[in-house]
Chains A and B, each alone.
Chain A
């Protein structure tokens, strides 16, 4: 019963509605009560597990995680080839050693959604393989640096550098010097960045900064003689507070910024390639579906997002006098160069 209560909590918290619940194939009862009491009475029986069980552990129950789970389930439903699968969802904050142990024997796979969830689950060192999703690559590397992760894997949230540099190439042909400021979480990208850039004939100017430093100095050094600024997701380099100065400074110097999220583009970056939780969920669902079909639960190697979107800030492009191709064309050419499209 303890376990059931926990499940109830997480399901109620996800409150995803009917679509979620229909995914759970086991017989269950739903009691409708005033909303205040939903948490207490929403009841899904977990005792009778149909076949393979997958535990999904999101960091929180907010929109992005919900969005992921929904997409994951849709994608799984579409592609699992009729095999029965039961999905259990438990919020990472509710996950304890005890609750995990109760599930332990029945699990085929644990899918974590978000960095915190990945950390919590990996710390429990479960015997079932763990697929970490919606997680930045650097966080995953940090979590898994201590022990070998043969059976575990990940689908990163960040875009491969090759894709990001391809985007620069598509948007700014002839622009050859790309500046980057790296912070503590991204410092290790330097070698890869240089290698990826030089393959494409780019010169990359890298400045690094410490958490105790201000962005202005490294940023100005990086922007000198720079054609484009590649923003990396490093909380020290670009957070809500630094992003204003970063975008204003680069705009004053007429240097277009390649961001890493939709919000970054809306705030004033020229463009970004990014993956939504829905897209990551879809990829996760497809991967899990494939595992189900094969009946083999050994995970493929960690991979980057397969599905992504490109967003361009037309106002910024116009103001900087940059004529950009249509977004669908940009996406198309990025996909072609990644081998995603035939």
Chain B
């Protein structure tokens, strides 16, 4: 209160305008080290999903937004025996629902699940309304983000507390008994801003599936700006709740629960216009409770207990130094240390108390502006981890500005994907009838796995019309992946104990993908906008058909040849806005659904088109602002994005936002 009063007092005092205001020196706020690289200077192809697109998409779940990115596919997983994780998002296919070849960061914090790999999207303690922007860097980006930024990297940038309305609430109701409430409060002052949000959601899940769930989320983001210019940012969040799982109508029907939390602390110091430092610590924690009994034939007692409970923790500390060396050169280098730990001694890592991996990184990226027209980006990351040892991910890119509107880019990079803890240490086992003499193995790893490697070449064009109404990014790429980590099925599982393993992790498989991608943003008038994405991917390769014998099968069904999306936004008058999203994905199969029997295409899902629609009207009251929305999803009819037994039906939602900005 005292601070507030003195601010007011000071403001009144200097209310008279003098020449001082024009002549006084102002400390540099947007120093060179704080400014983001522009798209035409960036060493990679970047798709940006901004707030307007987020709102217009009508999406409530973050992965749905990724359909707007060229070459992305989303899977809504069937709820069966696995730890339920209903959504997967991959780029260029080549995945099961745990899309392990993409790195995802939220405000610089990796949310990649170290135990299984991929991202538990439903566990993100983040509402779609908390997102300012999503930047998707297509192509390997190990030089900047390290291993697992393999096919692409997704940067989710959450909204700054100073940019959100003081009070914000949202209610969503829709098909499948979907109901969600969001409330957020923010407070801003000269030196401290924060926002605090809570949300609760429940729904019946997919039609015909035993998968209703309730999720409660809460997050806090605060920023303190000290007098000396230091910025201290802290975030923490919780997410979780109970959900059903299992095959409907079978004894695997059960109640489980998952919970996550994270803490993040960032300290930024700018020592001069050209130099800044950053120190960051974060911790991610995930726990799943999932234990149930099944009967195996012959039905002996006791039942067989399957325990998929798991606890996973990541601790990460990172130092970063950014410096501009004169007009031409800017560097970022840093050091990072990380420890991943997972405990699942009764199922995933049977008999092992805990598994862990320690990681150390050193990285440097330099932007060299050789001339007004030529910018080069050179970077590399050296990593050492307890599983695969030392690896290096380099990148070199040259951007040539043909004109103020057109930039061509050529880049070459290499990246790595280190095995997840499960890939390296898997010992999935259940004892039949509770008897250790009858072990049944599911996934097993012999250990000693190596990193997957990717080599990528890219030729890009970033083009902007003179009036900036049209911005386009085209990229031609050639990726080569080898040493892939796969889990071929055991062709002849033993008929006597020990049973299994069903699947064994191996480094086997190589894929080449080449293609072209187009990302277009067009604003013909102030009231309309079109966002178009198209990807053509020609993928060929092989991966093991069975663990033993050593046969291979083609990988090409695992990548759709064509994907495309169009988001059209039209303002209709002052307060009404309509948008339509059309998303097309060509025929493809998810790795774990594809049959090992020729012609290897059984388990594919047919091509599909998803059509979403949103109609929104602003509400303007005397003391409040709001938006009421009607959202229809899958309006073109039922489609299948993962397996042909999990239909995505038409859905309708009504949303009411109060305090909407």
Contacts and interface: CB of A to CB of B under 8 A. Distances in A.
- Could you say which interface size class chain B belongs to? 35 or more
Contact of A245 (B162, B464, B469): B162
Contacts of A264: 26
Nearest to B404: A323
Interface in B187-226: 188-190, 225
A134 B19 contact: yes
B16 interface: yes
A263 B40 contact: no
Contacts of B25: 263
Given A185-B17, A211-B12, A240-B26, A319 B38 contact: yes
A239 B19 contact: no
A242 B467 CA distance: 32
A260 B468 contact: no
A240 B27 contact: yes
A316 B160 CA distance: 20
Interface in A52-109: 59, 64
A300 B21 CA distance: 26
B188 A216 contact: yes
Contact of B17 (A138, A211, A244, A318): A138
Interface in A269-286: 274, 277
B149 to A, nearest CB: 22
Interface residues of A, number: 64
B28 A136 contact: no
Contact of B24 (A217, A234, A253, A263): A263
Nearest to B571: A225
B41 interface: yes
A279 to B, nearest CB: 12
A217 B167 CA distance: 12
Contacts of A328: none
A158 interface: yes
A323 B464 CA distance: 10
Interface stretch (B29-37, B275-283, B560-568, B641-649): B29-37
B39 A216 contact: no
A179 interface: no
Given A244-B27, A268-B30, A315-B35, A135 B11 contact: no
A49 interface: no
B22 A266 contact: no
A311 B586 CA distance: 51
Given A211-B8, A319-B36, A323-B404, A184 B15 contact: yes
B19 A136 contact: yes
Nearest to B375: A318
A233 B28 contact: no
Contacts of B31: 268
A260 B26 CA distance: 12
Contact of A253 (B21, B163, B166, B404): B163
B160 A212 contact: no
B110 to A, nearest CB: 22
A247 B18 contact: no
B526 interface: yes
A321 B39 contact: yes
A266 B28 contact: yes
A320 B468 CA distance: 12
Given A233-B21, A267-B30, A244 B225 contact: yes
Q: Which of B8, B19, B32, B36 has the largest number of chain A CB atoms within 10 A? A: B19
Nearest to A142: B16
Nearest to B369: A318
Contacts of B526: 176-177
Contacts of A233: 17, 21-22
B661 A239 contact: no
B27 A136 contact: no
Interface in B594-621: none
A19 B39 CA distance: 52
A139 interface: yes
Contacts of B7: 241
Q: Which of B16, B31, B37, B39 has the largest number of chain A CB atoms within 10 A? A: B16
A211 B18 contact: no
B405 interface: yes
B450 interface: no
A329 B31 CA distance: 25
Contacts of B15: 183-185, 211, 235-236
A313 B7 CA distance: 30
A169 interface: no
B18 A115 contact: yes
A174 B468 contact: yes
B22 A220 contact: no
Given A115-B16, A214-B188, A64 B27 contact: no
Given A139-B18, A184-B15, 13 more contacts: A64-B23, A115-B17, A116-B18, A177-B526, A214-B190, A217-B166, A235-B17, A248-B160, A248-B162, A249-B163, A252-B132, A318-B41, A323-B405
Interface of A: 59, 64, 114-116, 134-136, 138-139, 142, 157-158, 173-177, 183-186, 211-212, 214, 216-217, 220, 224, 233-236, 238-245, 247-249, 251-253, 260-261, 263-264, 266-268, 274, 277, 313, 315-316, 318-321, 323
Q: 8 shortest A-B CB distances, which residue pairs? A: A268-B30, A323-B404, A319-B35, A247-B29, A267-B26, A115-B18, A263-B26, A185-B17
